[in-house]
Amino acid sequence: MSSRPKLDLRAKSHLSYFAYACHRFSGLLLACFIPLHFLMLSQSLRGASGFERYLGLTDFWVFKFGEWALVILLAIHLVGGIRLIMIEFGPWRGLRKAWTQVAILFGIACGLLFLYLAN
């Protein structure tokens, strides 16, 4: 005896839901990151050398990976967000699946660009 089935992954396996999931996930992680980002930047109040000391704390690979991941999440959240604005405020042209594809590609592009430009 078990409980009646609920909505599972099979119901949600379509592009529009995937776009929603990416948007929510990236938004949540960004929301957690932003206060820490501001905290780090506010160390600039200590002047250049004080700021540099705190910036140096992020030299561990964990932080570098985090920065890279966050740039990708930011890119995805940005384009996914534009898609939502188009859906909710723009002329109705369906679920804007092309925008979801652009979000993924833009995320990949930003990830690659970040790796290329950072040392």
Cβ 9 to another protein shortest distance, Å: 7
| 13 token code pair | 């396996």
Using rule CB under 8 A, residue 45 touches another protein: yes
Using rule CB under 8 A, residue 1 touches another protein: yes
User: Is the Cβ–Cβ distance between 106 and 79 less than 8 Å?
Assistant: yes
Of positions 27, 66, 102, 111, contacts another protein by CB under 8 A: 27
| 99 token code pair | 């925008």
**80: which residues sit within 8 A by CB, 6+ positions away?**
19, 22, 23, 26, 99, 100, 103
Residues numbered 52-71 forming contacts with another protein, rule: CB under 8 A: 52, 55, 71
String of b and e for 6-28 (b: at least 16 CB within 10 Å)? eeeeeeeeeeeeebeebbeebee
Q: Is the CB of 2 or the CB of 61 nearer to another protein?
A: 2
What residue ranges bind another protein (CB under 8 A)?
A: 1-12, 14, 16-17, 19-20, 24, 27-28, 30-31, 34-35, 37-39, 41-52, 55, 71, 74-75, 78, 81-82, 84-85, 87-89, 92, 94-95, 110, 113-114, 117-119
